[in-house]
Amino acid sequence: MIDLSVQIGKSRFKNPVFTASGTFGYGLEFSVFYDISQLGAVTVKGLSLEPVPGNPGPRIFETPSGMLNAIGLQNVGVREFVRSYLPRLRELGATVIANVYGKTEEEYASVAAILDEAEGVEAVELNISCPNVKEGGIAFGANPLLAHNVVSAVRKATEKTLIVKLSPNVTDITEIAVAVEEAGADSVSLINTLLGMVIDVERKRAVLGSTTGGLSGPAIKPVALRMVYQVSKKVKIPVIGIGGIMTYRDALEFFLAGATAIQVGTANFVNPLSALNILKDLEKYFEDEGIESLSQYVGSLAEVES
Amino acid sequence: MDFFTGTVVSNRVISEKCHLMKVETEKVLDYKPGQFIMVRGWKGFDPLLPRPFAIYNWREEEGRPILSFVFKVVGRGTSILSGLREGDRVQVNGPLGNGFSPPEGKERFILAGGGIGFSAVLPVARSLVDSGKDVRVLLGARTAGEIPRIGYVEEADRDHLLITTDDGSFGEKGIVTDFLERELEEVGEKERTLLFACGPPRMLKKVQELAERFGIETYLSLENYMACGFGVCLGCVVDRRTEEGIIRVRVCREGPIFRSSEVEIYD
C-alpha cells in the first residue's frame, strides 16, 4: 500500500486526511462511528484561555450547496480541554491538532504555552481568521503585520508544530501567508469560512443571531482551491487545503493545486463517516492509478502556457 | 446511535403538508419517545444537511424492522423527501437526543401539541398509555387540513384526545393553549401531574406561562436549526438558566426535551 504519510513541521502524520476545527467537536463524538486514530489528525474545536459561551442563536442556516454558521467560538477553555478531553483522545490513539484562539497576542501565546506542555497534542493550529467574533480572530488575520506579530509571539511559546489558519476575507491571502511563514509558522491551513449573510424577507431581518456568519461547504470550494493554488506558489512551508471537501475527488483537486494535506469540515455534518471515507477512497485511487508517492502527486497540476 | 441507510417502505400523505414515512432498517434500535433522527434522502450536496425529525415509531411490523417518522414539507429537503417512493434509500443517523422519561411519582399526564408538534407528542403519549398512565392529549391546528390522519388520532376517543382548530373547521374552535388552560384549572393533584408540550415558539411561551401559573412540572420538546444532530456543530444551542447563570446547551444533545422552567424560548 502507498505511503501516504506527510511531514509538516516536526510532525509526521500518517496520512494527509485531517478534520477541520469546529466540525469535529473534541473528536470524541465521532469515536461512536469509527476509530478516529485512522485519520492523519483530528483538529479540535478552537480553544481559548477561558471558556467562551458563544453567540446567541440562530447560529446555523443552510444556503445553496453550503451553510452559514456563527457559533462564536463556544468552547470549554484550554485547561478544561487538557484536563477532561485530551486524556480520552489519547486513549483513542488520535493524533490531535489543537486549534487556538485569543483576543490578544498574549492570550494566543498563553493558550499555546499550556498546550505546549500537554501530552498528546501533536500540533497547534492558530485561528487568526474567525469571522464570528468581535475581538481578535480576523483582526489578526487581515493584516500582515499583526499576523506576523501574533505568530512570532506564539512561536516563542511553543516548540510544537505550528500551523496558521488563514482567512479568505482579505484582499491578498498570499501576503498574509508570506508574513506568517516569515514569523516562523511551519504550515498554513486555508481557507476558513467566507463571510456571508442571509435575510428573512418576511421579518425583514438577518436570519443569524449575529447578523453575519461564515459560509462553508461545497459552495466555497472553487474559492478555496484558487487560494490554495496561489499560496502554494508563494510559500515554501506545507499548505493544508480546506474548503468544501466532500469526496476524495475534491481532495485530489486540492493536492493537485499544491496542498500537502487536507481538512474535512462541513462534510462531517452531512455524513459522520466522511473523513474516513475520503481517506479510504484516496488509498484506493492511488493504488488503482499506480501512484507511489503522495509527494509526487502534490502540486503536479499541469500549467497552461499563457 | 447508529448511522445507516434504510429503504423506504411507504411515504403516506397524512395532512395538507405532512407525510408519514416508513423506512425498513437493519434492526430495531432501542429508543426513547421524544428522541429524533437526522435524515437525508437525496444524492449530491444540494440540499446539503440532513434534516431532524422526531421518531414516530421503531418496531417490528409484519416481521420487518420499521422506523417511521413524520415530516412537514417546508423547504427543498423535505420537498425531496415528500417525493420518495417505496424502494428509495435514505440515510439515517439516530436515535439522537435525550428523549423523555417520566419522573417518579407522576400519574397524570397532560400533553399538548401545536402544528407539527404532534409528531413529538404522540410517541410520548403512546408510551405513557402503554405503561398504564392517565394521559390527556390536546392537539391544536390552524385548520382541519392540518389534522394528521394517522391511527392514533383516528382511533382515540374524545376523553383521551381533544383536537382544536383556530378556525373551528375541525374539533373545538379556538387556540389549543386556551383549552389547555381550562384543563389545568381542573387539575386536582398538581404534584402528581406532568405537562409536556411541543409546538411553535409562541405556543411554548404560553405553555411556560401556564406551567408557572399553575405550578405544574412541565417539559418542552424544542426544535432548532442544526447541522449535525449529534453535538458537534454547536449550531442548535438554547439558553438554559442554571445556578451559575445562563449556559448555552445543545437542543440535539442536552435536549430536545427540557424542563420548561429552565429554558428561554425566543419567539
Interface residue A32 vs chain B (CB under 8 A): yes
Closest to B248 (Cβ–Cβ): which among A53, A218, A246? A53
pLDDT in tens, A148-203: 999 999 999 999 999 999 999 999 999 999 999 999 999 999 999 999 999 999 99
Whether residue A305 is predicted with pLDDT greater than 90 in this model: the reply is: no
Rounded CA separation B71/B20 (Å): 7
DSSP assignment letter at A82: I
C-alpha A299/C-alpha B47 separation (Å) is: 32
Of B46, B47, B228, which has the smallest distance from its Cβ to A269's Cβ? B228
pLDDT (average), residues A103-110:
94
Q: Which residue among B48, B234, B266 places its CB closest to the CB of A217? A: B48
Taking CA–CA distances from B266, the nearest residue in chain A reads A57
Nearest to B265 by CA among B220, B216, B235, B225: B220
- Of all residues in chain A, the one with the smallest CA distance to B5 is A271
Per-residue pLDDT for A136 more than 60?
no
Structural domains for chain B? 2-96 (2.40.30.10), 108-222 (3.40.50.80)
- Note whether B238 contacts A24, CB cutoff 8 Å: no
Q: Contact A65/B48, CB-based, under 8 Å?
A: yes
Burial of A305 (0-12, 13-18, 19+ CB in 10 A): exposed
Q: Does the structure show a pLDDT above 60 at B90?
A: yes
Q: How far apart are the first and last CA of chain A?
A: 38
A218 touches chain B (CB under 8 A): yes
Q: What pLDDT shows up at residue A139?
A: 76
The dihedral of CA B183, B185, B187, B192: what is its sign?
Answer: positive
Average pLDDT, chain B: 96
Amino acid at B160: H
Would an 8 Å CB–CB cutoff place A65 in contact with chain B? yes
Q: Tell how many helices (H) and how many strands (E) occur in chain A.
A: 11, 16
Give me the pLDDT at residue A132, please. 61
> Do B34 and B54 meet the contact criterion of CB atoms below 8 Å apart?
yes
* Of residues A110, A108, A128, A125, the one with CA closest to residue A160: A125
Query: Is A74 at the interface with chain B, CB within 8 A?
Result: yes
3-state SS, residue B93: strand
pLDDT at A135: 61
SS3 state at B95: strand
B1 touches chain A (CB under 8 A): yes
Find the CB nearest B45 among A33, A74, A218. A218
Lowest-confidence segment of B67-81, B151-165, B200-214 by average pLDDT: B151-165
Chain B CB contacts of A65 under 8 Å are 45-46, 48
Residues of B in contact with A61 (CB under 8 A): 225
- Average pLDDT in chain A: 95
> Catalytic one among A49, A78, A130, A294?
A130
Would an 8 Å CB–CB cutoff place B247 in contact with chain A?
yes
Q: How many CA atoms lie within 13 A of B181 on its CB side?
A: 12
pLDDT of residue A184: 98
Asked if pLDDT for residue B20 goes beyond 80, the answer is yes
Domains of chain A in sequence order: 6-54+72-193+215-296 (3.20.20.70)
CB atoms near residue A201 (< 10 Å):
6
What is the grid cell recorded at A104? 490578544
> Using one digit for the tens of pLDDT, what is the confidence trace for B101-117?
999 999 999 999 999 99
What is the per-residue burial (b if ≥16 Cβ within 10 Å, else e) of B245-256?
A: eeebbbbbbbbb
Contact across the interface for B48 and A67, Cβ inside 8 Å:
yes
Question: Residue A1 pLDDT more than 90?
Answer: no
Residue with cell 412540572: B217
Check residue B185 and give left, alpha or beta (phi > 0: left; psi -120 to 50: alpha): alpha
Residue B89 β-bridge partners: B7
| Residue A271 with chain B: CB contacts under 8 Å | 3, 40, 91
- Between positions 112 and 151 of A, the ones with CB within 8 A of B are none
Interface test mutation site (partner A, options B46, B80, B224, B234, max chain A beta carbons within 10 A): B234
Is A130 noted as a catalytic residue in this protein?
A: yes
What pLDDT does B152 receive? 87
The packing angle between helices B201-214 and B176-185, to 10°, is 10
Q: How far apart are CA B108 and CA B191, in angstroms?
A: 9
Q: Which residues pair with B111 in a beta bridge?
A: B137, B196
Q: CA of B49 to nearest chain A CA: how many angstroms apart?
A: 5
Q: pLDDT confidence of A115, banded at 50, 70, 90?
A: very high
Cβ of residue A54 closer than 8 Å to a chain B Cβ:
yes
Which alpha helices (DSSP H) does A158-266 contain, by range? 173-182, 221-234, 248-257
Between CA A263 and CA A23 the distance in angstroms is 10
Task: Give this prediction's pTM.
Answer: 0.95
